[in-house]
Each structure stands twice: as C-alpha cells, then as structure tokens.
Amino acid sequence: DAKTTQPNSMESNEEEPVHLPCNHSTISGTDYIHWYRQLPSQGPEYVIHGLTSNVNNRMASLAIAEDRKSSTLILHRATLRDAAVYYCILREILWGNFNKFYFGSGTKLNVKP
Amino acid sequence: DAGITQSPRHKVTETGTPVTLRCHQTENHRYMYWYRQDPGHGLRLIHYSYGVKDTDKGEVSDGYSVSRSKTEDFLLTLESATSSQTSVYFCAISASGVGADIQYFGAGTRLSVL
C-alpha cells in the first residue's frame, strides 16, 4: 500500500498560489517528508523536505500538520514552468545515512496562462 | 544535472532477451538506486547499492539483478525480458555524508519489451 496519498491532478492559474495536499497517516516519528517534481521526459528533482516544522526555500514552502499525518506544498506564485507531476514522498532512514524513499503516485499540476 | 548518465535512453527488445541498463555517476556518491515508473504507481524501488559489490532488493526486484563493480557504475539486468517490464527506468544517487537526505535522478531509460 502507498504510504502517501495525493490528488491525481490539480489546476492553477499563472501567478496565483498553489497548495498541493498530501496525506501520510501512517508516517513514523523518524520519517521525513519530501517533495519532488518531475517535468516531462525528465527525472524527478528535489523541491523541499522537512520533519516537523514548516520549511521555506527559494522554490516553495512546506507546511506540516501538527500530527504529521498530512502536509501541503505551497508554490507562492505558479508559473507555466511549474507545470509538472509533484510527488509527496516519505524518507525512511534505515542505517547510517542510507535512506529509502517511498513515492506516491503524484499530483499532475496544470498551470493556465 | 547531478552528473548521472543513463544508457541507453531508449531501447526496444523482444520477450526473452537479456537487457542491461547502465547508470554512471561522476559524483562519487556511495548510494545508488534503480526505480521503475509506471502509470498510476509513481516510482518503485527495484534494487539499491550501498557500496561496491553491496546491493540489496527493493520492493519490485523479481526478474531483475544488479551489479556494482565500481563506485561510479550501477548496472540493472533483466535476465529474460517480459512485457510486464516495459517501463521507464530511473537511476538515482545519494551521498553518505553532507547532503545524504537528497536523491538525484538521471534522465531515465524508456524500455519497451515486445
């Protein structure tokens, strides 16, 4: 069973904020929440990650629920180049620095001009 | 790009033939991974490596084998390709020290088994 659940698709208007939701109700206390995105014909690329606190970087913001069972990726001003499939992922730390990533099926974001 | 090259980028083969996909990295990262991507499933882990000659199975390893004889190369082999192995295959790498929490992906290999 998938560890994360996301809507199949979402649509946004250019230059408006986008909130991409993710449910991960079975998350363990040590799992990190990652978001990657995949542009057409490319491999996934890192967007942002966090454990408990909200996180911001130049690409996006990550809001994590207090119980950690859900999170939201926020793109503050969507551009046409943000049209991609966005994956919410749980990262399990197995040993040392070795990590396993559990991908969901992703949300396809369509941005309208 | 994170210095990851996958080859070939596209391959068409027939059922029952062996196929080897190559992942080459120039980052000297310790950990390497092979995923497959199918519609509705996101990415699923096939095999991974935590060092030269150290590999282990992921969640969908049946029908696949891997080898890592050098830090920079991770090979994925389909011993006898089946139509169910038609997919897009991605290689990923991650470091063992600073930056260990991020995986970097190659551009993918599209494999069609007829």
Query: According to the model, what pLDDT value does residue B98 have?
Result: 67
Residue A2 has pLDDT above 70, yes or no: no
Distance CA B84, CA A22 (A): 29
Query: According to the model, what pLDDT value does residue A96 have?
Result: 67
Nearest CA-CA distance, residue A98 and chain B, Å: 7
Residues of chain B predicted below pLDDT 70: 1-2, 98-100
Query: According to the model, what pLDDT value does residue B111 have?
Result: 97
**B103–A46 C-beta distance less than 8 A:** yes
Query: According to the model, what pLDDT value does residue A1 have?
Result: 58
- Contact list in A for residue B109 (CB cut-off 8 A) is none
A5 touches chain B (CB under 8 A): no
Q: pLDDT tens digits for A57-107?
A: 988 999 999 999 999 999 999 999 999 999 999 988 877 667 888 888 899
> What percent of chain A is modeled with pLDDT above 90?
74
Q: Which residue has the tokens 């970087």?
A: A57
SS (H, E, C) chain A: CCCCECCCEEEEECCCCEEEEEECCCCCCCCEEEEEEECCCCCCEEEEEECCCCEECCCCEEEECCCCCEEEEEECCCCHHHCEEEEEEEEEEEECCEEEEEECCCEEEEEEC
Number of H helices and E strands in chain B, helices first, is 0, 11
Nearest CA-CA distance, residue A104 and chain B, Å: 6
Give whole-number Cα distances, A71 to A8, A47, A67, A96, A99, in Å: 16, 14, 10, 26, 20
Query: According to the model, what pLDDT value does residue B1 have?
Result: 56
Q: Which two tokens stand for residue B90?
A: 């991605």
- Contact list in A for residue B10 (CB cut-off 8 A) is none
> Which A residues, 48 through 107, put their C-beta within 8 Å of a C-beta on chain B?
49, 87, 91, 96-101, 103-106
pLDDT, mean over chain A? 92
Q: Tell me which of B36, B96, B103, B105 to substitute to probe the interface with A (most A C-beta atoms closer than 10 Å).
A: B103
Q: Do β-strands B10-13 and B4-7 pair in parallel, antiparallel, or remain unpaired? A: unpaired
Query: According to the model, what pLDDT value does residue A93 have?
Result: 82
Distance CA A39, CA A47 (A): 12
**B104–A42 C-beta distance less than 8 A:** no
Report, as an integer, the average pLDDT of A32-50.
94
Total residues found in chain A within this entry: 113
Query: Where residue A30 falls among pLDDT bands split at 50, 70, 90?
Result: confident
